[in-house]
Amino acid sequence: MTIPDVTIEDLVSFRPAAPTLTGEPGGFGVVGMPTNLVASAQTQFLSGTLLGRDVTVRFTPAGYVFDHGDGTSSRTTTGGASWESLGQAQFTPTATAHTYRARGTYPVTVAVQYAAAVDFGTGWRPVDGFVTTPGAAYGVRVVEVRTALVDRTCGESPSAPGC
């Protein structure tokens, strides 16, 4: 049996699930300090008919394109991980962190670039190119932090400056 060549365009009816996106600290960031973004996408197997034949398509995350909502974007080969799982302190750089330069609320998005392979029952064959699946926006509120030396905590002196 002759197996047809498959192009990325042939896979239009096979759509991997959208990635999820979260951030640290949860929902906000601090001007001038890294905000850690974490996208989650898994290898997926979808079955169906392609070019008149039964097929299984495997989609494997190969790239993550983060749009930071401030006019910048970055591409990584990882979806990232929490600071805790990386063994890092909060507000430290990660492969998927972004440092905002101004206050505001930013709609961050991620699109996952999936590498595809097909199996018509004769073994896996890679397909050139990527299938890109966007995820929903994740809002990050970026604030400025100001510090001051004080005698007591706000619990001890609720009317003190900054409380």
User: Which CATH number characterizes residue 88's domain?
Assistant: 2.60.40.10
Write down the pLDDT at residue 162.
67
H or E segment to which residue 156 belongs: none
Three-class DSSP category at 86: helix
Let me know if residue 153 belongs to a domain.
no
pLDDT digits (tens, 9 = 90+) for 65-74: 999 999 999 9
pLDDT band at 155 (very low <50, low <70, confident <90, very high): confident
- Gap between the Cα atoms of 103 and 30, Å rounded: 8
- Gap between the Cα atoms of 35 and 31, Å rounded: 9
Range of the domain at 135: 8-143
Let me know if residue 69 belongs to a domain.
yes
Question: Percent of the chain scored above 90 by pLDDT?
Answer: 83
Give the up-direction half-sphere exposure of residue 143: CA atoms within 13 A in the CB hemisphere.
7
pLDDT band at 86 (very low <50, low <70, confident <90, very high): very high
What average pLDDT score do residues 83-101 get? 97
Which long-range contacts does 81-90 make (Cβ < 8 Å, 24+ apart)?
Answer: 81/38, 82/24, 82/36, 82/38, 83/24, 83/36, 90/24, 90/25
Q: How many domains does the chain have?
A: 1
Let me know if residue 152 belongs to a domain.
no
User: What's the Cα-to-Cα distance from 110 to each of 20, 36, 97, 115, rounded to whole Å?
Assistant: 8, 13, 13, 16
Let me know if residue 65 belongs to a domain.
yes
Q: Dump strand ranges (E) for 18-80.
A: 20-24, 28-30, 34-40, 44-50, 53-67, 73-76
Let me know if residue 150 belongs to a domain.
no
Q: In this structure, what are the phi and psi dihedrals at residue 37, rounded to the nearest 5 degrees?
A: -105, 135
> How do 53-67 and 104-119 pair as beta strands?
antiparallel
pLDDT digits (tens, 9 = 90+) for 98-134: 999 999 999 999 999 999 999 999 999 999 999 999 9
